[in-house]
Amino acid sequence: MPVSLSGSHMRRRLLVLAFVLSAPGLYAQQSSSLFTFQEVMIPVRDGVHLQTVIMAPANQTGPLPILFRRTPYGVPAAAYTQMPPNLKEFAKDGYIFVIQNLRGRFKSEGTFALSSQANLADPKSTSETTDAYDSIDWLVKHVPNNNGKVGIFGVSYDGLTAAMTLLHPHPALKAVSEQASPVDQWMNDDDHRFGALRESYTFEYAVYEQADKNKNTHFDFDIYDGYSWYLALGPLSNINAKYLHGSIPYWNEVVAHPDYDAFWKKEAWVNQLHSSTVPNLNVAGFFDQEDPWGPWQIFRHAAEHDPDNTNFMVAGPWYHGEWHAPKGDSIGAIALGGHETSREFRENIEAPFFRYYLHGQGEKPAWKVTTFQSGSNRWRTYNAWPVAGTTPKNLYLHADGTLSFDKPKASEPASREYVSDPASPVPYRQRPISPTYPAGDWRTWEVADQRFVDGRPDVLTFTSAPLEQDLTITGQVSADLFASTSGTDADFIVKLIDVYPENAQKNAWDPEAGPQPLQYARSVNGYQLPIAMEVRRGRYNTSYEHPQPLTANKPVEWNIPLRDRDHVFLKGHRLMVQVQSTWFPLIDRNPQKFVPSIYAAKASDFVKATQRVYSTPALASHIVLPVVP
């Protein structure tokens, strides 16, 4: 979840404020910066006080709206002396910026639970929803020269705190922009994918947030290559037995609740959201390595009752929070057609959204969904989602290793198989795999060239012929796999990939073709760009609440959602699908023998298994593509 509004590394340098505050009054600090700087301790309903900084423009002459952000990562120690790049578009309109540490973080009182539970029926219960409500109530009554209107926004965990205001918004809250907010940590957010544990991220992030109240803490790995470290770790129970010793509350909760039980259902706060009562700009990255799913779920839940048409969705080919990068003109090696998508988003979408609802200037968005469509590299607007006119089309996996829109025939081979060995799992990105944070190549692994798994016998590859014309997919993509295992539990990972031609950038060698650098040209020739990737865990194939063993060697249907996409496979490109059963250490290893809890599995429980993928008329494995005519 970690993302800083002022750059990817800023939050790790934030300092605890140097002076102590007691009463909830305002204390001004003399500064030659762009803003006045005030620190307060805002009281909330259970008597806890939350550390908050308030920055008003130094030259403020009239009432301004408040732009609020709530974070677990630390607040600035002083006023901005220069405007952070991602806030420049806001500064043009004028705002009082307020940033608050969540309860239990840094100097905020109370206990930080790393939780998104909200019990609105209990007036004594507190949550991010109630803390935000109480803080907004205090701000509009105590911050001088505010116009009575508040907007809240944030990315990742900050996006979660913004999003949870939608459950019970304060009357002064006039605009919300949740960006990459998680909504259900078991189903498909940071910590799990349909119950399959995101091992490295969940472990490292829990340590990051809960090892020390007063700072963000990175786990001290003694091996740089995370693949080697997690493999040497052995069963997941060794994390507590050898390293944490029960000291990290959230990790303890994760391993105590392997299935979709009451604990996780309470965490799934979005199930309480059924209407759009405050204008909300949802923002998601198609290649977000942490929270790509939550904003779409918020958008769909709020759309259940949206009488004023104020529930909006924006998505682009971004990694986690890249829309707040200075430019956003590429993701990894993939350029975005000369567009500075991050700046364009802030100038043309984000800033005008808050300008309209907080300043009363400009126009209400005339669209429901805006995307930056990869492949074509252009901005698109839609009046509805799903988009009218799209047609679900099945792309079939054939046992000879090909892909086509033609259904397999009875005369074709029936299946392909491979041996999955938990002792030698498929890495999820090129080794060595650096720690998740401080973030390095973690940001861009979802667009990494998939050729690094070429030649592995435990990865099946299916490839189409070169496309004779552009193929546009806009909407929800899914996989319908028919597969069996010789074990009694299994994972299946499916990847949909856009394969660039070997001469994709041949003109870059022509000095008259323009400034395209040779290094970039070579990097995309034959590039295997993942468009959609996901995992399903066999024990949850029939029930998330009550895991069941698989029947050995019996083919079953695996429905694997691949989320919302907007992409053009260009003429001359190929489509590729890869199928595998390990994705390590992103996803914990399935023992491939059914045990009551994988988190309590022993080393002896991990066994090899033969996985078989079927391609017959009756068991026709395929990808469902929302094709635009």
**Cα atoms in the Cβ-side hemisphere of radius 13 Å centred on 228:** 9
- pLDDT higher than 60, residue 28: no
Nearest to 4 by CA among 214, 162, 159, 220: 159
Q: State pLDDT tens for residues 35-53.
A: 999 999 999 999 999 999 9
DSSP-assigned states of every residue in 516-556 = --HHHHHHHTT-EEEEEEEEEEGGGSS-SSS--PPPTT--E
Kindly write down the DSSP assignment for every residue of 64-85, as one continuous string. Answer: EEEEEEEESS---SS--SS--G
Model confidence, pTM: 0.92
pLDDT band of 509, cuts 50, 70, 90: very low
Residue 124 DSSP label = T
**Helical segments of 184-248, H only:** 199-210, 226-233, 237-238
Query: Is the pLDDT assigned to residue 614 strictly greater than 90?
Result: yes
Residue 226 confidence (pLDDT): 96
Q: Which of 358, 299, 423, 378 is nearest to 566 (CA)?
A: 378
pLDDT tier, 30 (very low <50, low <70, confident <90, very high otherwise): very low
Question: Sorting pLDDT into bands at 50, 70 and 90, what band is 1?
Answer: low
CA proximity to 308, closest of 340, 337, 275, 330 = 275
Give CA–CA dist 540/530, Å, rounded.
Answer: 25
Round to the nearest angstrom and report the end-to-end CA distance of the chain.
37
pLDDT, one tens digit per residue, over 80-113 is 999 998 899 998 899 999 999 999 999 999 999 8
Contact 475, 371 (CB under 8 A): no
Domains of the chain: 10-183+268-382 (3.40.50.1820), 391-628 (2.60.120.260)
pLDDT at 240: 97
Core vs surface per residue 316-331: b (16+ CB within 10 A) or e: bbbbbbbbbbeebbbb
Per-residue pLDDT of 235-265, as tens digits, reads 999 999 999 999 999 999 999 999 999 999 9
pLDDT at 558 over 50: yes
Residue 624 DSSP symbol: E
Q: Average pLDDT in the 21-41 region?
A: 63
Count CB atoms within 10 A of the CB of residue 510: 9
Distances (CA, A) of 582 to 421, 549, 625: 8, 18, 24
Q: Is the pLDDT of residue 76 over 60?
A: yes
Q: Mean pLDDT score of the chain, rounded to an integer?
A: 92
Span 154-162, average pLDDT: 98
Asked if the model's pLDDT at residue 335 lies above 80, the reply is: yes
Q: Look up residue 503 and give its amino acid.
A: N
The pLDDT of residue 114: 85
CB 310 within 8 A of CB 280: yes
Phi, psi of 2, deg, nearest 5: -60, 125
What are the tokens at 297?
A: 């779920």
Distance CA 471, CA 629 (A): 8
For residues 156-178, give the mean pLDDT. 98
Average pLDDT over residues 386-403: 97
Interval 301-312 mean pLDDT: 97
Q: Is 626 helix (H, G, I), strand (E, B) or coil?
A: strand
pLDDT > 60? residue 523:
yes
Cβ pair 400, 412 in contact under 8 A: yes
Task: Give the pLDDT confidence score for residue 337 in this predicted structure.
Answer: 94
pLDDT band at 506 (very low <50, low <70, confident <90, very high): low
Residue 146 Rama label (left phi>0; alpha psi -120 to 50; beta):
beta
pLDDT (mean) for 279-299: 98
> What is the predicted pLDDT for the residue at 522?
53
More confident of the two residues 8 and 438: 438
Closest CA to 157 of 126, 189, 187: 189
What's the pLDDT band for 622 if we cut at 50, 70, 90? Answer: very high
- E strand intervals along 375-458: 378-382, 391-397, 403-404, 415-420
Give the residue-averaged pLDDT of 320-330. 95
Least confident span in 122-126, 145-149, 487-491: 122-126
Helix H or strand E encompassing 567: strand 556-569
**Average pLDDT for residues 140-166, to the nearest whole number?**
98
C-alpha distances (whole Å) from 589 to each of 486, 508, 582, 584, 599 are 16, 43, 7, 7, 10
Question: Mean pLDDT throughout 177-204?
Answer: 97
Of 420, 339, 430, 393, nearest to 575 by C-alpha is 393
Q: How many other C-beta atoms can be found within 10 angstroms of the C-beta atom of residue 145?
A: 12
What span, in angstroms and rounded, lies between the C-alpha atoms of 99 and 83? 15
Residue count of the chain, please give it.
Answer: 629
Which H or E element spans position 313?
strand 311-316
65/151 Cα distance (integer angstroms): 8
Q: What is the mean pLDDT of residues 218-222?
A: 93
